């Protein structure tokens, strides 16, 4: 265990799905770890790929899980979506996602359209109500030259009953297979997302550690911008060539023992 990796770490950014909670259930040890870090004077922030909820909604879920957090300490793809370079000129967009995505775009004066022929960008989030017709409309827009912008590329999302459900990445993979259009990504592991988080939280990369359950999202993305990284559990999606966390723990209780020894 490379505990030297913890030297000089003053801030921690935690993933949510598969790390702090599993579906609607808090992860064992999550509340105790966050409380201990705060008591020790460490900064605690939450950086998530949850694609269908705002920072305010996510902070409510954290509070319900026993982790008192204000929205300013939480960032997800919707927090930065209007600032993505692909939307700089406010092009008309077709959305596959929840109403929260549409609301954020409309508040930023990004026109949301339902006609695939009018769309210049297709934005994809996770929405359990998504239909085959939605996919077909997106492919039609992509075939006409629209760009493909994914809120994240997570292929699987852990749920409360211990199994995983298809994530945004699985939907995007289907659209790419059907249209040949490669996606850009708003959330992890994009350098854009991590850089925005560092700026938003007012922290320094050299003093910050990213804690999450995904090698290709949390670990690879964090390392790309100079964060130290912790992998929790086996790692969603299995091994990733060339991607290695600074620390690997089985669960948050083990991380707690390393960070705040008795």
Predicted confidence (pLDDT) per residue in 32-42, tens digit: 999 999 999 99
Q: Between 234 and 93, where is the model more confident?
A: 93
pTM reported for the whole predicted model: 0.91
Average pLDDT over residues 55-83: 95
Closest to 232 measured CA to CA, from 257, 249, 256, 254: 249
Phi/psi for 208 (5° steps) reads -125, 145
Q: Which fold has domain 85-185?
A: Rossmann fold (3.40.50)
| Number of CB atoms found within 10 A of residue 70's CB | 11
55: pLDDT strictly greater than 50 = yes
Paired tokens of 209: 């550690």
1: pLDDT strictly greater than 50 = no
Predicted confidence (pLDDT) per residue in 236-261, tens digit: 766 677 789 999 999 999 999 999 88
160: pLDDT strictly greater than 70 = no
182: pLDDT strictly greater than 80 = yes
Extents of the domains making up the chain: 3-76+188-259, 85-185
Fold matches, 3-76+188-259 and 85-185: yes
For residue 204, the model assigns a pLDDT of 95
Residue 22 sits at the vertex; the CA angle it makes with 19 and 27, to the nearest 5 degrees, is 55
Burial of 3 by CB count in 10 Å (0-12 exposed, 13-18 middle, 19+ buried)? exposed
Predicted confidence (pLDDT) per residue in 5-14, tens digit: 677 899 999 9
Average pLDDT over residues 75-81: 97
Q: Which CATH class is domain 3-76+188-259?
A: alpha beta
73: pLDDT strictly greater than 80 = yes
Average pLDDT over residues 175-186: 98
Predicted confidence (pLDDT) per residue in 114-156, tens digit: 999 999 999 999 999 999 999 999 999 999 999 999 999 988 8
Residue 129 contacts by C-beta under 8 Å, 6 or more apart in sequence? none
For residue 162, the model assigns a pLDDT of 66
């Amino acid at each position: 265990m490379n505990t030297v990796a913890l030297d000089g770490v003053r801030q921690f950014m935690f993933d949510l799905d598969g790390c702090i909670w599993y579906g609607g259930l808090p992860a064992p040890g999550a509340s105790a770890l966050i409380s201990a870090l705060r008591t020790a004077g460490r900064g605690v922030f939450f950086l998530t790929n949850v694609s269908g909820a705002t920072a305010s909604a996510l902070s409510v879920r954290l509070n319900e899980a026993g982790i008192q957090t204000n929205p300013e300490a939480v960032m997800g793809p919707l927090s930065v979506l209007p600032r993505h370079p692909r939307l700089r000129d406010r092009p008309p967009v077709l959305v596959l996602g929840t109403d929260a995505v549409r609301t954020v775009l409309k508040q930023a004066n990004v026109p949301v359209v339902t006609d695939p022929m009018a769309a210049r960008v297709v934005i994809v989030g996770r929405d359990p109500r998504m239909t085959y017709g939605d996919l077909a409309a997106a492919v039609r827009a992509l075939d006409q030259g629209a760009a493909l912008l994914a809120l994240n590329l997570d292929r699987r999302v852990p749920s409360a009953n211990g199994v995983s459900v298809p994530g945004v990445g699985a939907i995007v993979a289907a659209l790419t297979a059907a249209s040949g259009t490669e996606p850009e990504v708003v959330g992890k592991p994009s350098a854009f997302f991590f850089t925005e988080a560092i700026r938003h939280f007012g922290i320094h990369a050299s003093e910050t550690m990213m804690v999450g359950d995904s090698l290709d999202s949390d670990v690879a993305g964090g390392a790309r911008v100079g964060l130290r990284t912790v992998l929790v559990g086996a790692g969603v999606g299995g091994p990733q060539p060339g991607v290695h966390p600074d620390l690997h723990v089985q669960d948050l209780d083990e991380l707690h023992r390393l960070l705040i020894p008795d």
